[in-house]
Amino acid sequence: MNAWWKKAIGVAVAGVIMFFIIRNLVSGLRQLDSFEVRVSAWRIVGAFAILGLLFSAYGKIWQYILGKLGHGIGFAASMRMWFLSQAGRYVPGKVWFALGRIYLCERAGVPRATATVAIGLELVLVLGSAIVVFGVASVLSPGLAKAQYMWGLWLVPVILVGVHPRIIRVVLAKLKREPGGLSLAYADTLKILGLYIICWCIYGLGFYLVGTSLELGGNAPAFRSAGLGLFPEMAGINALSWAGGLLSVVTPAGLGVREGIAGVLLAEIMEKPYPSLIPLVARIWVTIGELGTLGLVFLFRGWK
């Protein structure tokens, strides 16, 4: 395939992704019209700053995973690889982000088998860390400390055992996917799990700032007086709802599923209509952040 066709296909794929991202943003803004909402500017600015830190952290962890699988790449290349493929989540069907990541890995000299294993490892540890964060939050929160939510805590030891490299190698061997150069130790997988837990806490802080920035009819919500006391609950709710959206096969970027899970759990700790409003505004916040980061990725695409 000549260079002209490659560029044409790249532009077409980028156009499809941008269409779905913008459609998602417009849909959220239209739904927001039904609420009389004011926001705290400094909290929103802080939430966007947190997104920048979070996206950089994800790129760094992806770089670390590839390094442990025997393929070191630069941070800028890792960030570009991770973020461009993440944009594929907005296209219906969950395979596009994985296919995009594999394609970008191959362009950077990372074999398909290694890229597949790295993606699988990332997903397992991201989902596992989300459950750990929600499990801890369910203990700390009076609103979430109920029998139907305690399963998150019960799964924590299962996750800690399940990320052991011996178990990972057995699974990879069964799938015939283990690449050469796999040098993961248990300390490595625990380190990555811990880094993702920190990322969920950072993401949760942004979600907390967005949620507490909202005012209906010019009146601050009653739960804002709790201050950072709501942070553990909101971090856990954000992590679990994101994980649920990721596991949803049909909906693009977890649309609807994420908001539904978050709305049900937020209803345990705050008054209406905030449980419905906060997930909607949070989706708009993340979509705008991802659009801005996509622009930066394209602007600095020549960096190594």
Q: What are phi and psi of 273, to 5 degrees?
A: -95, 15
Identify the residue with better confidence: 222 or 258. 258
CA dist., res. 190 & res. 283, Å (int)? 30
pLDDT digits over 60-72, tens only? 999 999 888 888 8
The pLDDT score that the predictor gives to residue 10 is: 47
Q: How far is CA 70 from CA 59, 64, 122, in A?
A: 17, 10, 15
pLDDT digits over 171-219, tens only? 766 655 555 556 678 888 899 999 999 999 999 999 999 888 877 766 6
Asked if 164 and 196 touch (Cβ cutoff 8 Å), the reply is no
Mean pLDDT (the chain, rounded): 75
Q: How many residues in total does the chain contain?
A: 304
pLDDT digits over 206-251, tens only? 999 988 887 776 666 656 666 667 888 889 889 988 888 777 655 5
Identify the residue with better confidence: 228 or 284. 284
CA dist., res. 207 & res. 202, Å (int)? 9
CA dist., res. 92 & res. 17, Å (int)? 10
Q: Is the pLDDT of residue 296 over 70?
A: no
Q: What is the model's pTM?
A: 0.81
Asked if 285 and 44 touch (Cβ cutoff 8 Å), the reply is yes
Q: Is the pLDDT of residue 299 over 90?
A: no
pLDDT digits over 131-164, tens only? 889 888 877 776 665 545 566 677 778 888 888 8
Task: Please tell me the number of Cα atoms within 13 Å of 226 on its side-chain side.
Answer: 17
Asked if 179 and 199 touch (Cβ cutoff 8 Å), the reply is no
- Mean pLDDT of the 249-269 span: 72
- Mean pLDDT of the 75-100 span: 74
* Residue-range domain boundaries for the chain: 46-299
- Mean pLDDT of the 45-63 span: 90
Q: Which of 220, 211, 179 is closest to 277 using CA atoms?
A: 211
Identify the residue with better confidence: 87 or 2. 87
For 54-67, letters b (16+ CB in 10 Å) and e give bbebbbbbbbbbbe
The percent of residues in the chain predicted with pLDDT above 90, rounded, is 10
Token duo for residue 168: 């990972």
Q: With H, G, I as helix, E, B as strand and everything else as coil, classify residue 249.
A: coil
How many C-beta atoms lie closer than 10 Å to residue 252's C-beta? 20
Helices H, strands E: what count in the chain? 12, 2
How far, rounded to the nearest angstrom, does the alpha carbon of residue 163 sit from its chain's CA centroid?
19
Token duo for residue 25: 């943003």
The pLDDT score that the predictor gives to residue 284 is: 80
The DSSP output letter for 248 is -
